[in-house]
Chain A
Amino acid sequence: MSTKTRYFVAISGAILAIGLGTGLVASYMGFPVSVFSTAAGPDELQYVPADAAVVAYANIREVMNSDLRQRFKDIGPTTDQKNEFEEKTGLDFEEDIDSVVLAVTGSVANQPQKSFLVLGKGRYDAARLEALAIEHGAQATDYQGKRLLTHLENDGDDVAVGFVEADLVAFGNLAMVKASIDARRENRNIVSNNDMMKLVNELDNSNAWAVGRFDAIAQQANLPSEVQAYMPQITWFSAAGHINGGVSGQFKAEAKDEQSAQNLRDVLGGFLAMARMQAANKPALQQLADSMILSGDGKTVALSFSIPTEVLDVLESLAKGRQGVVQQ
């Protein structure tokens, strides 16, 4: 073997060895998401307890300003209804709320009413809200330096609103609101949950998304037992959408093993092929069917879609037609 051949073999071998070595170290040491990038997702995630099973986020500001919202604006609540709410609370949803984070803990199956936490970011008149709440029988207390408004229920499921930051309100069961304040204070929140943050980190350019453990939502979906038995064993899921002129999104699931994922991909692939054939004569549906793209590798299955303008036109005319009938 000549010297230049030896050099070539050494360089090729080195590239392979360095690549495999780096990958092995990353796999076994488990690089946290934050090693190579800043923490993904909104800042409000620091108020979500680390054991949350599902986390969802919506950028209300972007959705409200979207072209899609402008199209369907007339179909929303009437101005009179909105004014009444605004007068009492001083809160205009369209103008004052920027984003909402919803978290669901693992105990959702046993105690659904105690498992939800909503974090709303926006501009609030805290004094006005507190006065209104006390007027309706709520109690105002302090917890870890944060103002809490608690409405005591007979069954012990106290509902609370916590003003956790100047522009952030936590709403949910009293225990959940307190857990939210503790999560931020003790720095034991969802940001330190690598499994969840890996999913959040993969989301990009979405103004509405949800990630979490699939079993947490499957139990709540009340699916027939026959369907549940045939469902592949999905562990994690993420759903992300972008709303502007239209709606586009992606649903991604992680199965327990590669065989389950492969089976799910095969079933979805067959379904998509069938849908494309069925939609061949309907231009609007054909565009929707063509936009659905199946992808994924290993244990993941992903399905992306885009709702075309033609479909939105049909929905808009249907909604306006229905509204016209109601008004008559």
Chain B
Amino acid sequence: MTTGARMSFTTAARRVFDLSLGEMLWSRRTIFMALVVAGPVLLALIARGVEVFGMSALRVNGRPVPGFSIFGVMIWSLYLFFIVPVLGLFYGTALMADEVEDKTITYLFTRPVARGAVLVGKYLAYLACTILVVLPSVMIVYFMLVPFSQLPSTFGNLVIDLGLLALGLAVYGALFAFVGAFFKRPLLIGLVYTFGFQQTVLALPGSLKQFTVAFYMNALVPHVMPSDGVSSLLQSMFKENPPLWVCLFWLFAILAGFLYLATRVVERKEYILEQ
């Protein structure tokens, strides 16, 4: 029997999660995500195809580059630099904005659930949705590029990569969930932060880089940073490696802090729907 009694926070978040996961998975935004994630898989497929014909997919100084090194470059250049921040940005900023845009937020907020639980449920759905798409693609890319004989020596790094990407999705998602809930133009602010502020301060000396997510993420990557351009060369020169516990502490602090702030904003903000 349905009553007007208020659901507990966790029950409400779980209900919203169930509802939102299907919606997110089969939305138009998922087509974008599928295209983004299919890129590395396609590149790995081409590399594999080239090797089947006895050629090397990538040569440096006339010498073939090992499959695991190509995989490392893809983790840096495609996943950590582009896919993870972009998915966090597009999904995180849209968690509440989509409901406002579709004018369906009223239906959610008139339910006997805490407003914060709506955001947490949607955030968890985002996390499940992106992890279920991104991590299998990393796994496929790994098995396509790395020969079976090198599996024992490289598998540990794959596990670190998977954990790091999942953590990255969680941290960027929480950060941009707050940006989406608090600011009027969250996408623009997110793009400026991710590809402007972060990339600039990482290529400069000083302590400003400690205010970026990428600073802590980059220190945990088990692959060497590719230095193929001026920006990446500078970044590798000024790259610092804080201890593991410092990186994990700040990443989890950013995650928890911004998720908490996002729920506070959603609970207090008055959403005015355009007529």
Interface, chain A (partner B; CB < 8 A): 1-2, 4-5, 8-9, 12-13, 15-16, 19-20, 22-24, 26-27, 30-31, 33, 35-37, 198, 201-202, 204-206, 240, 242, 246, 248-250, 258, 262, 265-266, 269-270, 273, 291, 293-298, 301-302, 304-306
Contacts and interface: CB of A to CB of B under 8 A. Distances in A.
B151 A23 contact: yes
Interface in B215-267: 222-224, 226-227, 233, 236-237, 239, 241
Given A242-B62, A298-B157, A8 B25 contact: yes
A304 B60 contact: yes
B149 A31 contact: yes
B38 interface: no
A242 B63 contact: yes
20 contacts: A1-B18, A1-B21, A5-B22, A8-B25, A12-B132, A15-B140, A16-B139, A19-B142, A22-B143, A26-B148, A35-B148, A198-B153, A202-B66, A204-B56, A262-B241, A269-B239, A270-B237, A297-B68, A297-B223, A306-B61
Contacts of A301: 224
Nearest to B241: A262
B61 A291 contact: yes
A297 B147 contact: no
Given A12-B133, A15-B139, A36-B147, A5 B60 contact: no
Contact of A204 (B60, B64, B159, B241): B64
Interface string B192-225: 0000000000000000000000000000001110
B224 A297 contact: yes
Nearest to B132: A12
Interface in B139-174: 139-140, 142-143, 147-159
Nearest to A308: B61
A3 to B, nearest CB: 10
B134 to A, nearest CB: 10
A265 B25 CA distance: 41
B34 to A, nearest CB: 11
B224 to A, nearest CB: 5
Nearest to B69: A295
A63 B155 CA distance: 37
B100 interface: no
B63 A27 contact: no
A281 B107 CA distance: 68
Contacts of B139: 15-16, 19-20
A31 B62 contact: no
B135 to A, nearest CB: 6
Contacts of A37: 147, 149
Contacts of A20: 139, 159
B121 to A, nearest CB: 13
Q: Determine which residue in A1, A5, A13, A294 has the highest number of CB atoms from chain B within 10 A of its CB, and name it.
A: A5
A264 to B, nearest CB: 10
B136 interface: yes
B26 interface: yes
Contact of A26 (B64, B151, B222): B151
Contacts of A27: 151-152, 155-156
B116 interface: no
Nearest to B158: A23
Given A242-B63, A304-B63, A36 B148 contact: yes
B22 A1 contact: yes
B92 interface: no
A302 B224 CA distance: 10
Contacts of B151: 22-23, 26-27, 31
B147 A248 contact: no
A294 B157 contact: no
A180 B187 CA distance: 69
B222 A304 contact: no
A106 B66 CA distance: 29
B72 interface: yes
A139 to B, nearest CB: 45
A97 B149 CA distance: 32
A294 B154 CA distance: 18
Contacts of B72: 295, 297
Given A12-B135, A202-B150, A295-B224, 10 more contacts: A13-B132, A16-B139, A19-B136, A35-B149, A248-B61, A270-B237, A291-B61, A293-B60, A297-B222, A298-B154
Nearest to A33: B149
Nearest to A254: B153
Closest 10 CB pairs of A and B: A306-B61, A23-B155, A19-B139, A26-B151, A15-B136, A12-B132, A297-B223, A36-B148, A5-B22, A248-B61
A77 B64 CA distance: 35
